[in-house]
Structure 1
Amino acid sequence: MSIDITWERGDSATSVSTVAALDATLDTISHAHTAHLPYCVTLVAPGGGDFPVMLDICIGHPERSIAYHVAADGSSAWGYQPDLKPGPTFTFDYAGTPTDAWPERTRLTNTTAREAARQFLATGGQRPRALAWETGLSR
């Protein structure tokens, strides 16, 4: 299984097929942009049908991340760790646009976001089980 990873305005992209390659790519993105805002990276699985099967995670913040999943049927959900309180509000780079991550969206650690990315790769795009998922959270 191979997934595509995009960041910045989508003009930065690569494909990975192993957990080691995924981790190395996320490390490279994170380290290359330490002087900039944290980045939202998008992982896209093949064969999504009408909707791209994707997982967004934020990398580069020292403490927290976000996770947003879109399934092949178009349903989407925000990921979180049930045992973790809302985190800080922070601004991240989403395709070149500074975007705020609200405290209720930052209820996951970087370690757990990385594990969710690994599960996304290993399952071909299924919603990662490393997180609980909220479909009705508004803002």
Structure 2
Amino acid sequence: MSIDITWGRGDGAASVTTVAELDATLSSVAQDHPERLPYCVTLVAPSGADFPVMLDICVGHPQRSFVYHVGADGSSAWGYEPDLEAGPPFTFDYAGTPTDAWPERTRVSNASAREAARQFLTSDGQRPSALAWEILD
């Protein structure tokens, strides 16, 4: 499967089909822009559904990330690691807009966010099993 990846406001876009391409793209985003805010990176899987199937992760913060998933049925959820406390407050780039991360939403390590992105790619956009999920109503 191929997924589209975007970050910043026109800063970047890529299409990837393999885990190696995904990892390389995410590493490039994190390493090529150390002077900037961490990015919210959006991964979009193709679907015939009314809602875009997507996963947002934070890339570029030295310690924490967040993970947000929207399914084909329009359901959405925040990912978290049950044993990880709320993270420090920080600001990230959301489509070119500085946005404050809610500490309770940053209960995700960078490694777990990357694993969730890999699972999203290899499962045709399904909600990754790498994390526990808080389903939103």
TM-score by shorter chain over 0.5 = yes
Q: Which amino acid counterpart does residue 103 of structure 2 have in structure 1?
A: P
Q: Tell me how far apart the structure 2 counterparts of residues 120 and 102 of structure 1 sit (CA, whole Å).
A: 23
| Structure 1 residues 41 and 104: CA distance shift in structure 2, 3 A | same
Aligned positions of 1:1-139 closer than 5 A: 1-10=1-10, 12-136=12-136
Q: Tell me how far apart the structure 2 counterparts of residues 11 and 85 of structure 1 sit (CA, whole Å).
A: 32
In 1, are the aligned partners of 2:43 and 2:56 still within 8 Å (CA)?
A: yes
SS of the residue aligned with 2:119?
helix
Q: Which consecutive unaligned segments of at least 5 residues does structure 2 have?
A: none
Q: Which amino acid counterpart does residue 133 of structure 1 have in structure 2?
A: W
Q: Which consecutive unaligned segments of at least 5 residues does structure 1 have?
A: none
RMSD: 1.2
Percent identity over the alignment is 74
Q: Tell me how far apart the structure 2 counterparts of residues 100 and 48 of structure 1 sit (CA, whole Å).
A: 33
| Structure 1 residues 48 and 131: CA distance shift in structure 2, 3 A | farther
1:48 deviation in Å? 4.5
Q: Which amino acid counterpart does residue 117 of structure 2 have in structure 1?
A: A
TM-score by length of 1: 0.95
Q: Tell me how far apart the structure 1 counterparts of residues 66 and 48 of structure 2 sit (CA, whole Å).
A: 22
Q: Tell me how far apart the structure 1 counterparts of residues 47 and 76 of structure 2 sit (CA, whole Å).
A: 17
Q: Where has structure 1 moved over 6 Å in runs of 4 or more?
A: none
1:136 deviation in Å? 4.0
Q: Tell me how far apart the structure 2 counterparts of residues 10 and 127 of structure 1 sit (CA, whole Å).
A: 27
